[in-house]
Amino acid sequence: MRIGCPREIKNREYRVGLTPESAKELVANGHEVWMETGAGAGIGAYDDQYVASGAKVIDKVENIFAECDMIVKVKEPQPEEIARLREGQILYTYLHLAPDAAQTEGLVKSGCTAIAYETVTGPRGGLPLLKPMSQVAGRMSIQAGANALEKVHGGRGVLLGGVPGVLPGRVLVIGGGVVGFNAAQMAAGLGARTVIMDLDPEVLEKVGTHFEARASTRFASKANLEQAVAQADLVVGAVLVPGAAAPKLISREMLKTMKPGAVLVDVAIDQGGCFETSKPTTHDNPTYVVDDIVHYCVANMPGAVSRTSTYALNNVTLPHAIRIANLGWKEAMRRDAHLAQGLNVHAGSVTYPAVASELGYDLLPIEEAIA
Active-site residue numbers?
A: 96, 270
Q: What angle do CA 26, 27, 31 make, to 5 degrees?
A: 80
Distance CA 71, CA 113 (A): 10
User: Do the Cβ atoms of 235 and 250 come closer than 8 Å?
Assistant: yes
User: Do the Cβ atoms of 190 and 166 come closer than 8 Å?
Assistant: no
Q: Which helix (H) or strand (E) holds 224?
A: helix 222-231
User: Do the Cβ atoms of 75 and 93 come closer than 8 Å?
Assistant: yes
Distance CA 182, CA 188 (A): 10
Q: What is the DSSP string of 212-225?
A: GGGSEEEE--HHHH
User: Do the Cβ atoms of 114 and 95 come closer than 8 Å?
Assistant: yes
Which residues, including other chains, have CB under 8 Å from residue 269's CB and lie 6 or more apart? Answer: 278, 280, 281, 297, 298, 299
Identity at 155, one-letter amino acid code:
G
